Amino acid sequence: MKAIQFDAFGGPEVLHEVEIDQPVPAAGEVLVQVKRAGVNPLDGKMRAGYTQAFFPITLPHVPGLELTGVVSAVGEGVTDFAVGDEVFGWGNGTYAEYAIGTTLMRKPAELDWDIAVSLPVATETALRVLNLLDVSSGDTLLIHGASGAVGSIAVQLAVQRGATVIGTAGAANQEYVATLGATPTHYGDGLVARVRALAPNGVDAVFDTAGKGALPDSIELRGGTTDRVVTIADPAAGELGVTMTSGGEPTPVAEITEAAESAERGELTVTVAATYPLADAAKAQEAVDGGHAGGKVVIVLD
């Protein structure tokens, strides 16, 4: 089968297409014919070798942790899925024509493949952080990177909880952030004054999805405390005393399935920024590495 692989750590240029053996599902495993693979910031960090201390991989390595596709084969003892089922979720080595699923859910029948693969990581991350921040009705929440894959989902889920959301984004995405239900504002110099003008009673919590150096401003907006400030992307978090989360207890699959059903009904907006064929996986990762994709980047395999 065709797959993307890297044999050494480095930039996107280390990714190349190869022919390798198709995986065979062991007992309890599900083999998926991949229709789409999601591209996430973690993929680039793993490729560069930055995660070896806490998420080690061996070389050569097929990247990719997110997929949607059709069940191709099941291992002994699998009863939840059958050949032909359309699924989405997490997998190992998903930049490939076939991959072993690790946590799978049934894809709603009318849900577009591109949207399906955009949901698992972004929804799990958004829900996990909103729960960490204890966001509830009446809160004012500031989200940095509100137009991105995680930020856009977080905006909508926070609004559903009854929170008032202020979302930072670039000039081109101000209107989009407003359509999600947030009050948009620009990031960068003068952020504190702009947010205070929009939220004169203060900000109850801050969710940083962007990692662009906004944590000092976030702490100031929280009255000098790091309480209820969480980032998923800023490496300066430790020295500032801010909580940084990149994983934890997985969100129950029922909640992610519910988000997928909402997306199928058009009640949850998901933005696919770009799609690339498998052979252009390096370009796909480069787009995500830059941090300005403006939504989900997807690898198309059919």
Give a three-class secondary structure readout of 252-298: CHHHHHHHHHHHHCCCCCCCEEEEEEHHHHHHHHHHHHCCCCCCEEE
Structure confidence at residue 290 (pLDDT): 79
Query: Distance between CA 170 and CA 187 in Å, rounded?
Result: 7
Q: CA neighbours within 13 Å on the CB side: how many for 251? A: 24
Q: How far apart are CA 242 and CA 185, in angstroms?
A: 23
Whole-number pLDDT of residue 250: 59
Strand partners, 231: 208, 244
Classified as helix, coil or strand, 96 is strand
Confidence at residue 251, expressed as pLDDT on a 0 to 100 scale: 59
Q: Distance (Å, rounded) from C-alpha 258 to C-alpha 127?
A: 12
Query: Is the dihedral angle over the CA atoms 194, 198, 201, 206 positive or is it negative?
Result: negative
The pLDDT tens digits for 290-301 are 777 778 999 999
Angle at 235 between CA 232 and CA 241, to 5 degrees: 85
- Residues of the chain scoring pLDDT < 50: none
Asked if residues 124 and 157 have their Cβ atoms less than 8 Å apart, the reply is no
- Output the pTM of the full model: 0.92
The pLDDT, as a whole number, for residue 249 is 52
Check residue 248 and give its pLDDT: 57
pLDDT in tens, 144-155: 999 999 999 999
